[in-house]
Amino acid sequence: MSAGVGGSAGIDESTGIPEELRSLGRLFRRTDPTPDRAISAAYGAARRLVRERDSVGVLEPLGDSALRCRAVEESSDVAEESSGAAEVRTLSFAAPGRLVELELRPARQGMFLARGIVLSRAGQPSPAGAVIVRHGQGECRGELDDCGGFAVPGVPAGPICLRLHTRRADGLVTHRTGSDWFVC
């Protein structure tokens, strides 16, 4: 199909959805309709996701030792044998006013220990708070110590998301930041 000057042929101007997809949607709704309860649950989940993303700052990735190692391996002509030892992965994140250094250390089969430190941009320890590692089965949590250090045991291998919640002395959460999902 060719598009005219005023718009694309077959595309609904109000939604931007091509006619083929609209007709496929009508077919699905007619032959296998989605239960109202499932639609309500999906809209509720989307609202919670949008609300959560609006209230959470972003932990921007600064560095990842896995990416550096992969780049070195790809540029090397010499094939090296793996030592068989479990590799420690180090990641760095930046949040508004904070730096997070994270180390993922294999603990036992399929599990990791996540530990690290949270510093202010001036290099001072972060105030009280918690580091939360979200994963497919739920989440693991570690409290920040007086020096900004944390340890989160029992992190399963697979996709994870890092969250940082800092608190004032009175316990009120002052900052919530989170990373995108990545695989450990």
* Residue 131 counted as domain residue: yes
Tell me the average pLDDT across 160-179. 81
**Which residue segment(s) compose the domain that 30 sits in?**
19-55
Is the domain of 37 the same as that of 118? Answer: no
Is the domain of 160 the same as that of 90? Answer: yes
Which one is predicted more confidently, 43 or 137? 137
The total of structural domains in the chain comes to: 2
pLDDT for residue 54: 55
Is the domain of 26 the same as that of 95? Answer: no
* Residue 161 counted as domain residue: yes
Nearest CA-CA partner of 181 in 154, 164, 158 = 158
Nearest CA-CA partner of 165 in 182, 144, 180 = 144
Q: Is the pTM of this model over 0.95?
A: no
pLDDT tens, position by position, 40-98: 888 877 777 666 655 567 889 999 998 876 555 555 554 444 444 558 999 999 988 88
pLDDT for residue 30: 92
End-to-end CA distance of the chain: 45
